[in-house]
Amino acid sequence: MGSEARTLSVVIVSLDEGENLRRTVENLWPTLPANHELIIVDDGSTDGSSDFLAGDHRAKLLRTERLGIAQARNLGASESQGEVIVFSDAHVNVCKGWWEPLLRALEKPQAGAAGPAIADMEHPEFKGYGYCFQGPDLEMKWLPQKADTAYPVPQLGGCFIGMRRDVFKSIGGFDSGMIGWGLNDSELCMRLWGENYDLWVLPQVEVAHLFRERFPYQVEWPPVIHNALRLSLLHFEGERWASVIGHYREHSAFAAALALVVEHDVCARRREVASRRVRDAESLFRRYELDW
């Protein structure tokens, strides 16, 4: 099916984003194709930031108690109809025509997801073209541009990422066992790789993202470390898994994080992920010649 005929759903999850949400939505609206829908999931905001959308027929507003990014995105996807779903943060600026290269990239049968180059909204000279892990802390290392047209990368930034609905459904969406903020997009990308999909960055498309030193909501260490441990247990083996444990075990929140890992039945999830895996994590590191 040609890109012009595809229906496009954009899902934005927002939590106490203040004016950022309004700016993102008003920037996004005029860039969308005719055949689209916009879904806003207000994930338990207390600041009234989504009130301006109430009654606006141009968007579907879903209000919910705090679910966390993974479950909130899955909720938005479940309420969408588009053949392609784009997940966007509530603090981005997009360019006109962004969706055309994205849809073309997703026409590749093995394309699991596609996303733009990511610029820093406050420092636009910085741009990242996909990313990889920089070490056992699983922090992101943004990659430089390698080509002028779409090409595969190890991982894509989750602040603006598109997938075909059939792929999203087949892999089970975002991992609902991930808690709150942190590594939700990385876990999704690792699962896509494992199920033999590639991730395509679109260097000709640029989305500006607001990188913040402080969040408008509370982020606690135990869930953050839990997400790192869960991702590692689901996708790593041997020394690589041990290095993540070794990095975090001296952290004051490690015991609480480990208790959360056990509570969320990661062993059953690990078996499920392994049963569907075609390529392991080490093959990803070898393909992209990653240092860690």
> Does residue 105 fall inside a structural domain?
yes
Whole-angstrom Cα distance, residue 266 to residue 263?
A: 8
> Does residue 50 fall inside a structural domain?
yes
The CATH number covering residue 69 comes to 3.90.550.10
**What mean pLDDT is predicted for residues 51-64?**
94
Tally of structural domains, the chain: 1
**Nearest-5° angle of CA 24, CA 170, CA 162?**
25
Question: pTM (2 decimals)?
Answer: 0.95
Cβ neighbours of residue 278 under 8 Å, at least 6 residues apart? 194, 195, 196
Indicate whether 3 pLDDT > 70: no
Q: What is the pLDDT of residue 44?
A: 96
> Does residue 268 fall inside a structural domain?
no
Q: Using DSSP, state whether 259 is helix, strand or coil.
A: helix
> Does residue 292 fall inside a structural domain?
no
Whole-angstrom Cα distance, residue 34 to residue 50?
A: 23
DSSP conformation class of 172: T
What H or E segment, with its residue span, contains residue 165? helix 165-171
Rounded to 5 degrees, what are φ and ψ at 69?
Answer: -60, -40
Range(s) of the domain holding residue 195: 3-209
> Does residue 149 fall inside a structural domain?
yes
Q: What is the pLDDT of residue 214?
A: 86
pLDDT in tens, 203-236: 999 999 999 888 888 889 999 999 999 999 999 9
Per-residue confidence band for 264, with pLDDT thresholds at 50, 70 and 90: confident
> Does residue 272 fall inside a structural domain?
no
